[in-house]
Every structure is written in C-alpha cells, then in structure tokens.
Structure 1
Amino acid sequence: MKTIHFYLDFISPYAWLAFDALPQALQGISVRVVHKPVVFGAMLQHHGQLGPAEIPAKRDWTYRQVQWQARAQDTPLQLPASHPFNSLGLLRLATACDPAGEPNRFVCDKIFRHVWCSGQEAANAERLAALSADLVPAADVGSAEVKQRLKDNTDEAIALNLFGVPSFVVDGQVFWGNDALPMLRAYLLGDPWFGSDDWTAVGGLPVGIQRKT
C-alpha cells in the first residue's frame, strides 16, 4: 500500500477544496493518507514568494475562483470574516491532536470547516478555545513539543522543496494544488506517462532569462 503525505495549512482555501475532494479522487485505490500541518508562510518566505492573498488583484481572483470551484465540486465554502489570518493556533491545535503531529481526517475536517464553512473569524480566540476543548481538551496546544512538531513538519516540507499547499507527496513525487488530484489519481493507477520525458526531464529545460530582484 502506498502512502501519500498531504502537506496543508488551514489558511488555504485550495487545501480545503483538495481535502474535501480527496476521497473521491482516491476512490477504489488502496492508499494511506498522512496529514502534515505546515506553516505556509514559512514556505513562502523560504522561496521568496508572496501568498495569493498578499497580491491585491490576485487576492480578488482567488476568492472568486475558489467559490466557483467549491460550487462546481459541491464543497461547502463560505469565506471567513477576514483573510488572510494567523493560522498558527489552528496548525498547533491540529498538531497537538496526534503524538507524531499527523492529525487524522476527522480532526482536519473539523478545523477546515471551522475556517471555511462558518463565515466567522477563523483565528478568534474564543472560537479557537471552543474548538480546542472539543478536539483535544487535555493537550497543551502551545507547548514546546507541539511547536517543535509543527516546525519539523514545515522543515520537512521545505527540505522536499515544496513551495505551496496543498502538496501531495508519494514515492518522492510531488503533486501540487487541488487541480493536481486527477494527476495524482493517474499516477497511483500506474499511468506510464509518469515515466516519460514529459514528466522526468523538465528539470533540464534551460532558463532563457531571469528577472533581476
């Protein structure tokens, strides 16, 4: 049985769309999914990038697109009261729900819905406290151990050269974005295209010009 490592941050609407669509994408395939909460902002910083919601015109398009995609795939989605927001509290909560920092699908679903199905402030302290009491009442979400596990997940993602969420890693192959789910399914079903130069040789394509920063 293959294992898919699913790197996610609850701040991303695309991660929610991918999470909700994943069971259908994997239907009929025997596979294990491991959820890895990561700090998307740290990944962006490592690669010197801005997030979609940090570029004004792209921000507007992102919210329009994700609402359209949610409607198309029949996923509930209501934009939070403000976005982007500080997702560290939610990430630490998810991490605290598992000794290895790998929360199960039930936990991730509860947190994603807290963000993307309520229309409320995702990082509101009272809402976060209520969610914590529901999911893991005895855990110290702010402990050094929880923070370290989340950092380890994020460092692992960066070491894998991941640049965004959602990212799925299986057999060392990376599939990025909710729109990559059909590719992921095809790979798991043994599509021979993934052994062709179209997949394997792209890293050797010469760079024609580089912008000065």
Structure 2
Amino acid sequence: MKKIVDFYYSIGSRYSYLASTQIETLEQEFDCQIVWHPVNSARLIKQGGISPFEGEPVSGQYEWNYREQDAKRWAKFYAIPYIEPRGRVNFDSELLARACTVAQRLGKEKDYSRLLFRAMFTSSLSQIYEKECVTCAEACGISTDDFQSLLAEKETMSQLNRTINRALESGVFGVPTFIVSGELFWGNDRIILLRHYLKTIN
C-alpha cells in the first residue's frame, strides 16, 4: 500500500510553486501518493495567529528582496523557470484557492494547479483573475459552464474552509507543508528532510 503524503499549498506562494515541481520525483522515488490540498495561505496564516508578512519584516528571512533572490536560486537549482510575480502580477488569493478547490471537486487539482502555478511564475501575465482561471480550466478539459457554476457554489467555499480548518488542526502554519504519518515538514527547503524521512519508513 502506497504511503500517503498530504501537500498543502497556495498558488500565490513562490515556495509552494518550487515544491510542486518536485512532487513527481518524490512519488516515483518513494512509490508514495502525494495528495494536493489547496488553501489560501493568507487566510490560513491569519486564522492561525500572527502573520510574519504584516508590518515590518520580523527577520531578514521575510524581506521581499531576499525571498525573491532565494526563490531564484532554488529555481536555478531545480533547473526550472521562475519569474518573480511580486509587483508584476495582480491576483486574488481567495479566488485562486476557490478555483483550485473547483478543480479538486472534479478530480483535476494536480493538472489545474500546475497550470495556475505556471501562469503565476513562468508567464508574462500581468493579472490572474477569473478569465485566466477559466482559461486554465479549459486547458484541463473542464468546461467553462461547469467551472463557473462550481466556482459560485457555496459547497466550493465550504470545502475550502474545511481544508483550511483541517490544515490548522494538523498543525499547518504556512505553505508549502507536507504531512506524512503525522510528521509535518514545512517549506520547500525541508523537502530534503521529507526525502530522508520517507527513506526511513519505506
């Protein structure tokens, strides 16, 4: 039986994007199944307590210039494209979380989320709102009518709320977060520790 790894992520998170590019390799290497759980990280952090992104940075780690430089270094290490979205792409984080939840309801969250990540971090788009979300849905084989209908349904918001609450109950305080066998690994840079842990339990 494959080991299940829960992956909590947010489309606007540069580190979630970076981590998402390593998932296929992890699944192949450890014969595990990584389950994608979209959240709005801004809301997750706010519900969980104090946000390190509000007000003056609490440490150099949260300085935006450093985070951009750090993300670019990771992208180079992973040999993947990366274009910093801050100051370039306008988006609604709640809309993106709901859009991914729609795809999740239709069993297409992986492909859909990857397309939104690419739109955010590798394209020349200056905004990602409903029109762009619909375009990604169509590219995944989701009809515009189905997508927009589910996007407006209360159940989509309810499912997103349940995901955020479940994440908080599991100890998630930010994204990306991986959870396997009750062990929590936060951050793209903790994938090396996740890999080591998966080796010990396989």
Taking structure 1 as the reference length, the TM-score comes to 0.79
Cα distance in 2 between the residues matched to 1:152 and 1:107: 20
The answer as to whether partners of 1:94 and 1:107 remain within 8 angstroms in 2 is yes
Bigger mean CA offset, 76-85 vs 137-146 = 76-85
Deviation at 1:88, TM superposition (A): 1.7
The answer as to whether partners of 2:116 and 2:133 remain within 8 angstroms in 1 is no
Alignment of 1:74-113 (within 5 A): 74-80=79-85, 82=88, 85-99=91-105, 103-113=108-118
Deviation at 1:91, TM superposition (A): 1.5
Cα distance in 2 between the residues matched to 1:104 and 1:169: 18
Cα distance in 2 between the residues matched to 1:98 and 1:38: 11
Deviation at 1:69, TM superposition (A): 1.1
The corresponding residue for 1:37 is: 38
Deviation at 1:168, TM superposition (A): 0.3
The answer as to whether partners of 1:167 and 1:176 remain within 8 angstroms in 2 is yes
Q: How many residues were matched structurally?
A: 190
| Cα gap change, 1:98 to 1:85, in 2 (>3 Å) | closer
Root-mean-square deviation over aligned CA pairs? 2.5
- Give 3-state SS (helix, strand or coil) of 1:78's partner: coil
Q: Which sections of structure 2, spanning at least 5 residues, go unmatched?
A: none
> Identity rate of aligned residues, in percent?
22
One-letter amino acid of the structure 2 residue matched with residue 127 of structure 1: E
Deviation at 1:35, TM superposition (A): 0.2
Deviation at 1:16, TM superposition (A): 0.6
Deviation at 1:54, TM superposition (A): 7.5
Q: Which sections of structure 1, spanning at least 5 residues, go unmatched?
A: 192-213
| Cα gap change, 1:122 to 1:83, in 2 (>3 Å) | closer
Deviation at 1:26, TM superposition (A): 4.2
Deviation at 1:85, TM superposition (A): 4.0
Q: Over residues 92-136 of structure 1, what are the superposed CA-to-partner deviations in whole Å (9 max), with x where a residue is unaligned?
A: 11111133x874422221111111111323424432332234342
- Give 3-state SS (helix, strand or coil) of 2:63's partner: helix
The structure having more radius of gyration, on CA atoms, is: 1
The answer as to whether partners of 1:4 and 1:31 remain within 8 angstroms in 2 is yes
The corresponding residue for 1:210 is: none
Deviation at 1:51, TM superposition (A): 3.0
Taking structure 2 as the reference length, the TM-score comes to 0.83
Cα distance in 2 between the residues matched to 1:155 and 1:82: 31
Alignment equivalent of 1:115, drawn from 120, 123, 134: 120
Deviation at 1:83, TM superposition (A): 5.7
One-letter amino acid of the structure 1 residue matched with residue 67 of structure 2: T
Q: What stretches of structure 1 move > 4 A for 4+ residues in a row?
A: none
Cα distance in 2 between the residues matched to 1:12 and 1:35: 14
